[in-house]
Amino acid sequence: MQEEKKSLIETRDLSIGYHHPRHGQKVLHSNICVKLEAGEFACVLGPNGSGKSTLLQTLCGFLPRLSGEVCIAGNQIDKVSNRQMSLLASVVLTERVTVSNMTVSDLVSLGRTPYTGFFGRLKSRDQELVSEAIRSVGLEGFEERLITNMSDGERQKAMIAKALVQETPLIVLDEPTAFLDLPSRIEIMHLLRKLAHQHNKAILLSTHDLDLALQMADKVWLLAEGRKMETGTPEDLVLTNEFRRFFEREGILFDNDTGQFTVEKQKVKTIRIVGKGIEYKWVSRALARRGFAASDEPFSGFQVEVKSDGKREYLLTGPDGKIQKLRTIEDLLTQLEYEEATLLTE
């Protein structure tokens, strides 16, 4: 029999939103029934303004829920004291840290407060954890740097390190990758997933990195205005077309095959592309951007032959059979545009 997994977050008929003094209640989402278990790495995805931050803040008790229940590690959230909460959940929100005169080490050490008390001294194990966390987010060497003198991305990494040293079974992060460059985004997502899988933590984060979430999340929670929240493995949500329904909009298509978004072409023209290998792939991509779909059929229109002998040579054949040799993709696109325009004016 399968062992029942421990739920770190569980909601029943939860409604989230805001109370407005004059306009009454603004309900963003209702009837939310979700579960986040130990060892699970889950990503909340949704367009801007869909309610991701509101949901995360409500789950952590930073915002009051409108109705329904939120349980943290099996306890109703109203009955969890602040101290208990600090031992159960570490939370990284998006607001900037503005404390002056605080170094990276000072900030990360604050994550140990639930164990040491606010004025408590760090023991050697606390110090070790702080150093380890700083290392794991790639900030080694930044220990004595003032937080105010760091880039947004570096500061974000320090906040994640602070959450790590808190050693809680649940970590909630609102857009932790927002200010990071692509390698750092991948690194942080890997690190968080590893923590979930190897240290049995429940990790919930919101992100706009759809492709990274598709590749890495165990579960995805999809939010969009006016829609019922959907949850599941990324693959199920792709195969049931939920990703499409949540994210496609005019001019933007979600390709279920590749899991990527593409810009809808206004007009698809075909072009024969001959060749193979990486050069072929990038030429096809550049031509697709200009509205050309590759075709293998013998064709009476334009043809591009891609030499794959490392010489970087593109042979463009026009409908009249004239062949032109081009050295770069930029030249190829310019020539093709010129030839097309000439054809139209003839």
Residues that bind ligand ATP (CB under 6 A): 18, 26, 28, 46, 48-54
Dist CA 327 CA 40 (whole Å): 50
Q: Which lies closer to ligand ATP via its Cβ, residue 52 or residue 112? A: 52
Q: Which tokens is 276 given?
A: 């193979």
- State the Cα–Cα distance between residues 235 and 215, nearest whole angstrom: 9
SS3 88: helix
Instruction: Tell me how far, at minimum, the Cβ of 178 lies from ligand ATP, in Å.
Output: 9
Of 67 and 328, nearer to ligand ATP (C-beta) is 67
Compare residues 53 and 324 and give the one whose CB is closer to ligand ATP: 53
The residue written with tokens 């140990």 in the block is: 112
Backbone Cα Rg of the chain: 26
**In angstroms, what is the minimal distance from the CB of 30 to ligand ATP?**
14
For the residues of 213-279, what is the DSSP string, one character each?
HHHH-SEEEE--TTS--EEE-HHHHHHTTHHHHHH-BTTEEEETTTTEEEEPPSS-EEEEEE--HHH
What's the start-to-end Cα distance of the chain, in Å? Answer: 76
Task: Give min distance, CB of 173 to ligand ATP, in A.
Answer: 12
The tokens describing 144, both together, are: 């004595």
Minimum CB separation of residue 225 from ligand ATP in Å reads 8
165 φ, ψ (degrees, to nearest 5): -75, -15
Cβ proximity to ligand ATP, 153 vs 301, nearer residue: 153
Q: How far is the CB of 46 from ligand ATP (least distance, A)?
A: 5
Smallest distance from ligand ATP to CB 278, Å? 35
